[in-house]
Amino acid sequence: MSTKRIAGAEIEKLIQLLAKVPGLGPRSARRAALHMIKKKDQLLTPLAGAMADAAEKVQICSVCANVDTQNPCSICTDPRRDSTTIIVVEDVADLWALERASEMSVSYHILGGTLSPLDGVGPDDLNIKTLVDRVVGGEVKELILAVNATVEGQTTAHYITSQLEDLNVKITRLAHGVPVGGELDYLDEGTLSAALRSRTNF
Amino acid sequence: MSTKRIAGAEIEKLIQLLAKVPGLGPRSARRAALHMIKKKDQLLTPLAGAMADAAEKVQICSVCANVDTQNPCSICTDPRRDSTTIIVVEDVADLWALERASEMSVSYHILGGTLSPLDGVGPDDLNIKTLVDRVVGGEVKELILAVNATVEGQTTAHYITSQLEDLNVKITRLAHGVPVGGELDYLDEGTLSAALRSRTNF
Protein backbone atom coordinates (compact mmCIF):
# COMPACT_ATOMS: atom_id res chain seq x y z
CA MET A 1 0.00 0.00 0.00
CA SER A 2 1.21 3.51 -0.68
CA THR A 3 1.41 6.06 2.08
CA LYS A 4 -1.74 7.68 0.70
CA ARG A 5 -4.74 6.38 2.57
CA ILE A 6 -7.16 4.76 0.14
CA ALA A 7 -9.36 2.68 2.42
CA GLY A 8 -10.52 2.66 6.02
CA ALA A 9 -8.34 1.29 8.84
CA GLU A 10 -10.58 -1.78 9.20
CA ILE A 11 -9.98 -2.78 5.57
CA GLU A 12 -6.22 -2.18 5.85
CA LYS A 13 -6.16 -4.30 9.02
CA LEU A 14 -8.07 -7.09 7.29
CA ILE A 15 -5.60 -7.09 4.38
CA GLN A 16 -2.60 -7.08 6.74
CA LEU A 17 -3.89 -10.11 8.65
CA LEU A 18 -4.96 -12.00 5.51
CA ALA A 19 -1.42 -11.57 4.15
CA LYS A 20 -0.20 -13.74 7.05
CA VAL A 21 -2.36 -16.70 6.00
CA PRO A 22 -0.24 -19.37 4.28
CA GLY A 23 -1.09 -19.44 0.58
CA LEU A 24 -1.86 -15.71 0.48
CA GLY A 25 0.72 -12.95 0.01
CA PRO A 26 0.26 -9.19 0.16
CA ARG A 27 -1.16 -9.08 -3.36
CA SER A 28 -3.59 -11.98 -3.07
CA ALA A 29 -4.59 -10.75 0.40
CA ARG A 30 -5.88 -7.54 -1.21
CA ARG A 31 -7.72 -9.57 -3.84
CA ALA A 32 -9.18 -11.85 -1.18
CA ALA A 33 -10.24 -8.91 1.01
CA LEU A 34 -11.99 -7.21 -1.90
CA HIS A 35 -13.77 -10.42 -2.89
CA MET A 36 -14.93 -10.95 0.70
CA ILE A 37 -16.16 -7.37 1.00
CA LYS A 38 -18.15 -7.74 -2.21
CA LYS A 39 -19.60 -11.03 -0.97
CA LYS A 40 -20.23 -9.67 2.51
CA ASP A 41 -23.31 -11.73 3.31
CA GLN A 42 -22.20 -14.95 1.63
CA LEU A 43 -18.55 -14.95 2.70
CA LEU A 44 -17.22 -12.19 4.96
CA THR A 45 -19.83 -12.39 7.72
CA PRO A 46 -20.07 -16.23 7.79
CA LEU A 47 -16.27 -16.54 7.75
CA ALA A 48 -15.92 -14.07 10.62
CA GLY A 49 -18.44 -16.17 12.54
CA ALA A 50 -16.77 -19.49 11.69
CA MET A 51 -13.39 -18.14 12.80
CA ALA A 52 -14.76 -16.80 16.06
CA ASP A 53 -16.49 -20.17 16.67
CA ALA A 54 -13.34 -22.13 15.91
CA ALA A 55 -11.19 -19.82 18.04
CA GLU A 56 -13.57 -20.23 20.94
CA LYS A 57 -14.06 -23.98 20.75
CA VAL A 58 -10.83 -25.43 19.40
CA GLN A 59 -8.73 -27.44 21.84
CA ILE A 60 -5.94 -30.00 21.87
CA CYS A 61 -6.99 -33.62 22.48
CA SER A 62 -5.49 -34.77 25.77
CA VAL A 63 -5.09 -38.31 24.41
CA CYS A 64 -3.55 -37.91 20.95
CA ALA A 65 -2.86 -34.11 20.66
CA ASN A 66 -5.16 -33.73 17.63
CA VAL A 67 -6.91 -30.38 17.27
CA ASP A 68 -10.67 -30.54 17.53
CA THR A 69 -13.61 -28.79 19.11
CA GLN A 70 -14.02 -31.57 21.64
CA ASN A 71 -11.65 -33.27 24.08
CA PRO A 72 -10.98 -36.18 23.69
CA CYS A 73 -11.22 -35.56 19.94
CA SER A 74 -13.70 -36.99 17.39
CA ILE A 75 -11.18 -39.67 16.41
CA CYS A 76 -10.32 -40.83 19.93
CA THR A 77 -14.01 -41.03 20.89
CA ASP A 78 -15.19 -42.78 17.70
CA PRO A 79 -16.23 -46.30 18.82
CA ARG A 80 -15.96 -47.66 15.26
CA ARG A 81 -12.21 -46.99 15.16
CA ASP A 82 -9.61 -49.60 16.01
CA SER A 83 -7.89 -48.25 19.11
CA THR A 84 -5.30 -51.05 19.15
CA THR A 85 -3.48 -49.58 16.13
CA ILE A 86 -1.97 -46.11 16.44
CA ILE A 87 -0.47 -44.14 13.55
CA VAL A 88 2.22 -41.79 14.90
CA VAL A 89 2.55 -38.56 12.90
CA GLU A 90 4.52 -35.34 13.25
CA ASP A 91 1.67 -32.93 12.69
CA VAL A 92 -2.12 -32.68 12.45
CA ALA A 93 -1.72 -31.99 8.73
CA ASP A 94 -0.21 -35.47 8.35
CA LEU A 95 -3.20 -36.98 10.17
CA TRP A 96 -5.56 -35.22 7.76
CA ALA A 97 -3.53 -36.37 4.76
CA LEU A 98 -3.54 -40.01 5.93
CA GLU A 99 -7.28 -39.89 6.66
CA ARG A 100 -7.93 -38.69 3.12
CA ALA A 101 -5.69 -41.37 1.64
CA SER A 102 -6.46 -44.41 3.71
CA GLU A 103 -9.33 -46.77 4.31
CA MET A 104 -7.88 -47.73 7.68
CA SER A 105 -10.04 -46.67 10.60
CA VAL A 106 -7.47 -46.48 13.35
CA SER A 107 -6.22 -44.12 16.07
CA TYR A 108 -3.50 -41.49 15.87
CA HIS A 109 -0.86 -39.85 17.99
CA ILE A 110 0.56 -36.46 17.10
CA LEU A 111 4.15 -35.80 18.13
CA GLY A 112 4.05 -32.07 17.47
CA GLY A 113 7.35 -32.06 15.57
CA THR A 114 10.57 -34.03 15.36
CA LEU A 115 13.69 -34.26 17.48
CA SER A 116 16.10 -31.57 16.39
CA PRO A 117 18.98 -30.87 18.78
CA LEU A 118 20.21 -27.97 16.64
CA ASP A 119 16.87 -26.21 17.08
CA GLY A 120 16.73 -27.15 20.74
CA VAL A 121 13.88 -29.65 20.32
CA GLY A 122 14.39 -32.55 22.71
CA PRO A 123 12.19 -35.53 23.66
CA ASP A 124 10.40 -33.51 26.35
CA ASP A 125 9.23 -30.97 23.77
CA LEU A 126 7.34 -33.65 21.83
CA ASN A 127 4.36 -35.77 22.84
CA ILE A 128 6.50 -38.89 23.29
CA LYS A 129 5.82 -39.51 26.98
CA THR A 130 2.04 -39.55 26.37
CA LEU A 131 2.63 -42.04 23.55
CA VAL A 132 4.65 -44.34 25.82
CA ASP A 133 1.90 -44.01 28.44
CA ARG A 134 -0.72 -45.07 25.90
CA VAL A 135 1.31 -48.14 25.02
CA VAL A 136 2.06 -48.98 28.67
CA GLY A 137 -1.66 -48.50 29.36
CA GLY A 138 -2.39 -51.72 27.56
CA GLU A 139 -4.45 -52.47 24.53
CA VAL A 140 -2.16 -51.01 21.80
CA LYS A 141 -0.96 -53.80 19.47
CA GLU A 142 0.70 -51.89 16.62
CA LEU A 143 2.36 -48.50 16.24
CA ILE A 144 2.76 -47.30 12.65
CA LEU A 145 5.51 -44.67 12.59
CA ALA A 146 4.36 -42.34 9.80
CA VAL A 147 7.00 -39.67 10.30
CA ASN A 148 8.56 -37.84 7.38
CA ALA A 149 11.38 -39.61 5.53
CA THR A 150 13.84 -36.90 6.65
CA VAL A 151 16.85 -37.20 8.94
CA GLU A 152 14.90 -35.60 11.81
CA GLY A 153 11.88 -37.83 11.19
CA GLN A 154 13.97 -41.00 11.16
CA THR A 155 15.92 -39.94 14.26
CA THR A 156 12.61 -39.40 16.04
CA ALA A 157 11.37 -42.82 14.89
CA HIS A 158 14.51 -44.48 16.27
CA TYR A 159 14.18 -42.66 19.57
CA ILE A 160 10.53 -43.74 19.94
CA THR A 161 11.47 -47.34 19.14
CA SER A 162 14.18 -47.23 21.83
CA GLN A 163 11.67 -46.01 24.40
CA LEU A 164 9.30 -48.89 23.62
CA GLU A 165 11.69 -51.81 23.20
CA ASP A 166 10.73 -53.49 26.48
CA LEU A 167 7.03 -53.32 25.68
CA ASN A 168 5.11 -55.93 23.74
CA VAL A 169 4.09 -53.77 20.76
CA LYS A 170 4.66 -54.25 17.04
CA ILE A 171 6.32 -51.20 15.47
CA THR A 172 6.05 -50.66 11.71
CA ARG A 173 6.85 -47.81 9.35
CA LEU A 174 5.59 -46.61 5.98
CA ALA A 175 7.03 -48.40 2.93
CA HIS A 176 9.65 -46.63 0.85
CA GLY A 177 9.23 -46.90 -2.90
CA VAL A 178 8.33 -45.33 -6.21
CA PRO A 179 5.50 -42.77 -5.85
CA VAL A 180 2.36 -43.81 -7.76
CA GLY A 181 2.53 -42.01 -11.12
CA GLY A 182 6.22 -41.29 -10.64
CA GLU A 183 8.89 -41.68 -13.31
CA LEU A 184 11.99 -43.69 -12.41
CA ASP A 185 14.22 -41.30 -14.30
CA TYR A 186 13.43 -38.47 -11.92
CA LEU A 187 13.78 -40.44 -8.69
CA ASP A 188 16.75 -40.17 -6.36
CA GLU A 189 19.02 -43.16 -5.88
CA GLY A 190 17.98 -43.77 -2.28
CA THR A 191 14.34 -44.19 -3.22
CA LEU A 192 15.11 -46.40 -6.22
CA SER A 193 17.41 -48.62 -4.19
CA ALA A 194 14.77 -48.92 -1.44
CA ALA A 195 12.11 -49.76 -4.03
CA LEU A 196 14.33 -52.49 -5.49
CA ARG A 197 15.06 -54.01 -2.11
CA SER A 198 11.36 -54.02 -1.17
CA ARG A 199 10.21 -55.37 -4.54
CA THR A 200 6.96 -57.37 -4.49
CA ASN A 201 5.60 -60.22 -6.65
CA PHE A 202 3.88 -59.10 -9.84
CA MET B 1 -12.44 -34.78 3.32
CA SER B 2 -13.43 -38.36 3.64
CA THR B 3 -16.81 -39.35 5.00
CA LYS B 4 -15.13 -40.27 8.28
CA ARG B 5 -15.40 -37.37 10.66
CA ILE B 6 -11.94 -36.26 11.73
CA ALA B 7 -12.56 -32.80 13.16
CA GLY B 8 -15.40 -30.87 14.75
CA ALA B 9 -18.13 -29.20 12.70
CA GLU B 10 -16.72 -25.73 13.42
CA ILE B 11 -13.36 -26.65 11.87
CA GLU B 12 -15.01 -28.29 8.82
CA LYS B 13 -17.14 -25.15 8.36
CA LEU B 14 -14.06 -22.93 8.59
CA ILE B 15 -12.28 -25.01 5.93
CA GLN B 16 -15.33 -24.98 3.64
CA LEU B 17 -15.61 -21.18 3.81
CA LEU B 18 -11.86 -20.61 3.43
CA ALA B 19 -11.94 -22.71 0.26
CA LYS B 20 -14.20 -20.04 -1.30
CA VAL B 21 -11.58 -17.31 -0.81
CA PRO B 22 -9.87 -16.51 -4.12
CA GLY B 23 -6.29 -17.77 -4.00
CA LEU B 24 -7.17 -20.69 -1.73
CA GLY B 25 -8.49 -24.07 -2.92
CA PRO B 26 -9.72 -27.02 -0.84
CA ARG B 27 -6.18 -28.16 -0.09
CA SER B 28 -4.70 -24.78 0.84
CA ALA B 29 -7.85 -23.99 2.83
CA ARG B 30 -7.08 -26.95 5.08
CA ARG B 31 -3.49 -25.80 5.42
CA ALA B 32 -4.61 -22.25 6.16
CA ALA B 33 -7.19 -23.41 8.74
CA LEU B 34 -4.62 -25.52 10.54
CA HIS B 35 -2.10 -22.67 10.59
CA MET B 36 -4.73 -20.28 11.95
CA ILE B 37 -5.78 -22.74 14.65
CA LYS B 38 -2.18 -23.16 15.73
CA LYS B 39 -1.74 -19.38 15.80
CA LYS B 40 -5.07 -18.80 17.50
CA ASP B 41 -4.09 -15.72 19.47
CA GLN B 42 -1.89 -14.11 16.83
CA LEU B 43 -4.02 -14.86 13.76
CA LEU B 44 -7.38 -16.63 14.14
CA THR B 45 -8.91 -14.42 16.81
CA PRO B 46 -7.62 -11.08 15.38
CA LEU B 47 -8.70 -12.10 11.87
CA ALA B 48 -12.18 -13.04 13.09
CA GLY B 49 -12.38 -9.62 14.72
CA ALA B 50 -11.06 -7.76 11.67
CA MET B 51 -13.58 -9.52 9.44
CA ALA B 52 -16.49 -8.79 11.76
CA ASP B 53 -15.36 -5.13 11.94
CA ALA B 54 -15.04 -4.85 8.17
CA ALA B 55 -18.38 -6.58 7.60
CA GLU B 56 -20.08 -4.19 9.99
CA LYS B 57 -18.52 -0.95 8.79
CA VAL B 58 -17.87 -1.37 5.08
CA GLN B 59 -20.03 0.67 2.72
CA ILE B 60 -20.13 1.93 -0.84
CA CYS B 61 -19.15 5.56 -1.42
CA SER B 62 -22.17 7.45 -2.72
CA VAL B 63 -19.91 9.70 -4.82
CA CYS B 64 -17.45 7.34 -6.56
CA ALA B 65 -18.70 3.83 -5.59
CA ASN B 66 -15.40 2.95 -3.86
CA VAL B 67 -15.64 0.57 -0.91
CA ASP B 68 -14.60 2.04 2.42
CA THR B 69 -15.63 2.23 6.03
CA GLN B 70 -16.82 5.81 5.59
CA ASN B 71 -19.18 7.51 3.14
CA PRO B 72 -18.08 9.54 1.21
CA CYS B 73 -14.89 7.49 1.11
CA SER B 74 -11.35 8.40 2.27
CA ILE B 75 -10.41 9.38 -1.28
CA CYS B 76 -13.43 11.60 -1.99
CA THR B 77 -13.04 13.41 1.35
CA ASP B 78 -9.25 13.90 1.13
CA PRO B 79 -8.74 17.67 0.71
CA ARG B 80 -5.21 17.18 -0.70
CA ARG B 81 -6.54 15.31 -3.74
CA ASP B 82 -7.25 17.02 -7.05
CA SER B 83 -11.01 16.65 -7.49
CA THR B 84 -10.93 18.16 -10.99
CA THR B 85 -9.33 15.02 -12.45
CA ILE B 86 -11.26 11.73 -12.23
CA ILE B 87 -9.83 8.35 -13.18
CA VAL B 88 -12.66 6.09 -14.33
CA VAL B 89 -12.08 2.39 -13.55
CA GLU B 90 -14.10 -0.80 -13.84
CA ASP B 91 -13.48 -2.11 -10.35
CA VAL B 92 -12.14 -1.19 -6.91
CA ALA B 93 -9.19 -3.51 -7.56
CA ASP B 94 -8.18 -1.25 -10.48
CA LEU B 95 -8.34 1.79 -8.19
CA TRP B 96 -6.03 0.04 -5.71
CA ALA B 97 -3.63 -0.96 -8.50
CA LEU B 98 -3.46 2.60 -9.86
CA GLU B 99 -2.96 4.05 -6.39
CA ARG B 100 -0.02 1.72 -5.84
CA ALA B 101 1.49 2.59 -9.23
CA SER B 102 0.91 6.28 -9.53
CA GLU B 103 2.09 9.47 -7.90
CA MET B 104 -1.06 11.26 -9.08
CA SER B 105 -3.29 12.35 -6.24
CA VAL B 106 -6.62 12.54 -7.99
CA SER B 107 -10.22 11.33 -7.67
CA TYR B 108 -11.79 8.14 -8.97
CA HIS B 109 -15.07 6.82 -10.28
CA ILE B 110 -15.86 3.12 -10.20
CA LEU B 111 -18.14 1.83 -12.93
CA GLY B 112 -18.77 -1.54 -11.34
CA GLY B 113 -18.15 -3.47 -14.56
CA THR B 114 -18.35 -2.99 -18.31
CA LEU B 115 -21.15 -2.88 -20.84
CA SER B 116 -21.86 -6.42 -21.98
CA PRO B 117 -25.13 -6.89 -23.87
CA LEU B 118 -24.61 -10.68 -24.04
CA ASP B 119 -24.49 -10.86 -20.24
CA GLY B 120 -27.40 -8.43 -19.95
CA VAL B 121 -25.27 -5.60 -18.57
CA GLY B 122 -26.58 -2.27 -19.90
CA PRO B 123 -25.72 1.36 -19.08
CA ASP B 124 -28.21 1.44 -16.20
CA ASP B 125 -26.38 -1.44 -14.47
CA LEU B 126 -23.17 0.58 -14.27
CA ASN B 127 -22.39 3.79 -12.36
CA ILE B 128 -22.43 5.87 -15.54
CA LYS B 129 -25.26 8.24 -14.63
CA THR B 130 -23.52 9.23 -11.40
CA LEU B 131 -20.37 9.91 -13.44
CA VAL B 132 -22.25 12.15 -15.86
CA ASP B 133 -23.82 13.94 -12.88
CA ARG B 134 -20.35 14.58 -11.40
CA VAL B 135 -19.22 16.10 -14.69
CA VAL B 136 -22.42 18.14 -15.14
CA GLY B 137 -21.99 19.26 -11.50
CA GLY B 138 -19.10 21.42 -12.54
CA GLU B 139 -15.51 21.41 -11.55
CA VAL B 140 -14.30 18.25 -13.36
CA LYS B 141 -11.70 19.16 -16.01
CA GLU B 142 -10.34 15.78 -17.10
CA LEU B 143 -11.66 12.24 -17.15
CA ILE B 144 -9.01 9.52 -17.55
CA LEU B 145 -10.72 6.39 -18.86
CA ALA B 146 -8.64 3.62 -17.27
CA VAL B 147 -10.85 0.71 -18.38
CA ASN B 148 -9.36 -2.61 -19.43
CA ALA B 149 -8.03 -2.87 -22.99
CA THR B 150 -10.73 -5.44 -23.83
CA VAL B 151 -13.63 -5.20 -26.27
CA GLU B 152 -16.07 -4.63 -23.39
CA GLY B 153 -13.80 -2.06 -21.77
CA GLN B 154 -13.39 -0.10 -25.00
CA THR B 155 -17.13 -0.29 -25.77
CA THR B 156 -17.81 1.14 -22.34
CA ALA B 157 -15.25 3.90 -22.90
CA HIS B 158 -16.93 4.85 -26.19
CA TYR B 159 -20.36 4.88 -24.57
CA ILE B 160 -19.15 7.15 -21.74
CA THR B 161 -17.55 9.50 -24.28
CA SER B 162 -20.83 9.68 -26.21
CA GLN B 163 -22.71 10.62 -23.04
CA LEU B 164 -20.30 13.47 -22.31
CA GLU B 165 -19.72 14.94 -25.76
CA ASP B 166 -21.75 18.10 -25.13
CA LEU B 167 -19.93 18.83 -21.90
CA ASN B 168 -16.71 20.79 -21.63
CA VAL B 169 -14.47 18.03 -20.26
CA LYS B 170 -11.21 16.64 -21.56
CA ILE B 171 -11.35 12.84 -21.97
CA THR B 172 -8.11 10.84 -22.06
CA ARG B 173 -7.23 7.17 -21.90
CA LEU B 174 -4.23 5.11 -20.81
CA ALA B 175 -1.41 4.80 -23.36
CA HIS B 176 -1.01 1.51 -25.24
CA GLY B 177 2.54 0.24 -25.57
CA VAL B 178 5.23 -2.20 -24.60
CA PRO B 179 4.98 -3.24 -20.92
CA VAL B 180 8.04 -2.17 -18.89
CA GLY B 181 10.36 -5.19 -18.81
CA GLY B 182 8.46 -6.81 -21.70
CA GLU B 183 10.11 -8.54 -24.63
CA LEU B 184 8.99 -7.51 -28.10
CA ASP B 185 9.14 -11.08 -29.36
CA TYR B 186 6.32 -12.14 -27.03
CA LEU B 187 4.03 -9.17 -27.68
CA ASP B 188 0.92 -9.39 -29.84
CA GLU B 189 0.77 -7.41 -33.09
CA GLY B 190 -1.89 -4.99 -31.86
CA THR B 191 0.27 -3.85 -28.95
CA LEU B 192 3.41 -3.57 -31.08
CA SER B 193 1.62 -1.61 -33.75
CA ALA B 194 0.12 0.73 -31.11
CA ALA B 195 3.56 1.18 -29.52
CA LEU B 196 5.06 2.09 -32.90
CA ARG B 197 2.31 4.60 -33.68
CA SER B 198 2.67 6.25 -30.25
CA ARG B 199 6.48 6.29 -30.35
CA THR B 200 8.16 9.06 -28.34
CA ASN B 201 11.44 10.94 -28.69
CA PHE B 202 14.45 9.19 -27.21
Nearest one of A95, A179, A70, A55 to B2, comparing CA atoms? A95
pLDDT-derived band at A181, boundaries 50, 70, 90: confident
Q: What is the pLDDT, as a whole number, of residue A4? A: 61
What DSSP string runs through A63-85?
TT--EESSSS-TTTT-TTSEEEE
Whether CATH 1.10.8 fits B1-42: yes
> Hey, where are the domains in chain B?
1-42, 80-202
Q: What is the C-alpha separation between A172 and A12, in angstroms, rounded?
A: 50
- Main-chain phi, psi angles of A150, to 5 degrees: -105, 170
Tens of pLDDT, residues A90-128: 999 999 999 888 888 999 999 999 999 899 999 999 999
Largest CA distance in chain A: 69
A contacts of B69 (beta carbons < 8 Å): 7-11
| DSSP 8-state symbol, A43 | I
CATH C-level class of B80-202:
alpha beta
Q: Give the mean model confidence (pLDDT) for residues A1-8.
A: 62
| DSSP 8-state symbol, B121 | B
pLDDT-derived band at B104, boundaries 50, 70, 90: confident
Worst-scoring range by mean pLDDT, A88-92, A126-130, A140-144, B3-7?
Answer: B3-7
B contacts of A32 (beta carbons < 8 Å): 21-24
pLDDT higher than 50, residue B2:
no
Neighbours of B144 (CB within 10 A): 19
Nearest one of B157, B180, B40 to A55, comparing CA atoms? B40
Mutate which: B3, B51, B78, vs A, most A CBs within 10 A? B51
pLDDT-derived band at A1, boundaries 50, 70, 90: very low
Closest-CA distance of chain A to residue B161, Å:
27
Nearest CB to A96 within list B22, B30, B100: B30
Tens of pLDDT, residues B112-161: 999 998 999 999 999 999 999 999 987 899 999 999 989 999 999 999 99
Please provide the CATH number assigned to the domain covering A67-173.
3.40.1360.10
How buried is A36 (Cβ within 10 angstroms: 0-12 exposed, 13-18 middle, 19+ buried)?
Answer: buried
CB within 8 A of B140, min separation 6: which ones?
B83, B84, B85, B86, B134, B169
Q: What is the pLDDT, as a whole number, of residue A121? A: 94
Nearest one of B20, B22, B32, B25 to B11, comparing CA atoms? B32
> Any idea which architecture A9-57 has in CATH?
Orthogonal Bundle (1.10)
Nearest one of B167, B166, B195, B176 to B86, comparing CA atoms? B167
| DSSP 8-state symbol, B113 | S
- Cross-chain Cβ contact A74/B8 below 8 Å: yes
